[in-house]
Amino acid sequence: MSGIWILLLLIIAAALPLIIVFFWFRKSRPQITLTWFLAAAAGGIISLAAAAIVQSFFSPPGNNEPGQLLFGVLVRVATVEEASRLLTLIPLIYAAIHLKKQETSFCAALGLLSGLGFAAVENAAYGMSDINVTLIRILTAALLHGACGIRTGAAVFFIRLNPVKAIYLFISAIVIHGAYNLIIISPEIPSLLAAAVALAALIASLHRFVLQPS
């Protein structure tokens, strides 16, 4: 198989969760039009680029010092990535609120799309050397970013209505993200647990925010 076809399959595989959610929303949430879908996915890609720029200013994480390890997991990765997602979602969600689409579920759905857009590009980048990596990350990292995206999107919605709840949701996204990363980098912990954490977080976030009546 030629390189171009491998690259195409890699891109399709990485974007598969985003594609599935798009068709799900077309049936269950028609108010999320193609424009909203593309804007949210693009926001996720922009947040990935912004996070990568910020992370480049940090020193490489230390593997031997517990303090450096926790800093790398919770601050360099989880906090930076969730903060970049939050900042890119603010103008999008405020535009939705301005257009009277004020349901929490609508804003959380935009967060889900943003998270999956982030994951699609990140997974494709990781899979450039081995497509199996992309397939594995679809079952782990994509679920994780989707769950955190939902919570961050809901946090943006509550910034004005309930700042305490907004802070709680944002911190919960960081904690979930950090816990997942800590499991991934810990050789003594089975990787299956990371997939279980990501799936449980996604199901809980979907049930609490996205699947509620609009």
Model confidence pTM above 0.95:
no
What is d(CA 87, CA 94) in angstroms, rounded to the nearest whole number? Answer: 11
**Residue 100: CB atoms within 10 Å:** 7
What are the pLDDT digits (tens) for 8-25? Answer: 777 787 889 999 999 999
- Which residue has tokens 């200013």? 57
- Find all residues with CB under 8 Å of 43, minimum gap 6, and list them: 85, 88, 89, 92, 110, 114, 117
- Give the separation between CA 137 and CA 200, rounded to whole angstroms: 16
Measured between its terminal Cα atoms, the distance across the chain in Å is 46
**Dist. CA 134–CA 116, nearest whole Å:** 13
Q: Is the pLDDT of residue 85 over 90?
A: yes
For residue 148, is pLDDT > 90?
yes
Task: Tell me how far apart the alpha carbons of residues 201 and 56 are, in angstroms, rounded to a whole number.
Answer: 28
pLDDT digits (tens, 9 = 90+) for 31-75: 899 999 999 999 999 999 999 999 999 876 555 676 777 888 899
pLDDT at residue 97, as a whole number: 86
* The pair of three-digit structure tokens given for residue 213, joined into one six-digit string: 């009546």
Q: What is the pLDDT of residues 200-211, one digit of tens each?
A: 999 999 999 998
pLDDT at 214: 52
Residue 107: is its pLDDT beyond 60? yes
Cα–Cα distance for residue pair 15/116, rounded to 1 Å: 8
**Is the pLDDT confidence value at 96 over 70?**
yes
- Which of these, 87, 100, 114, lies nearest to 210 by C-alpha position? 114
∠ Cα 58 59 65 (to 5°)? 120
User: Residue 91: what pLDDT?
Assistant: 96
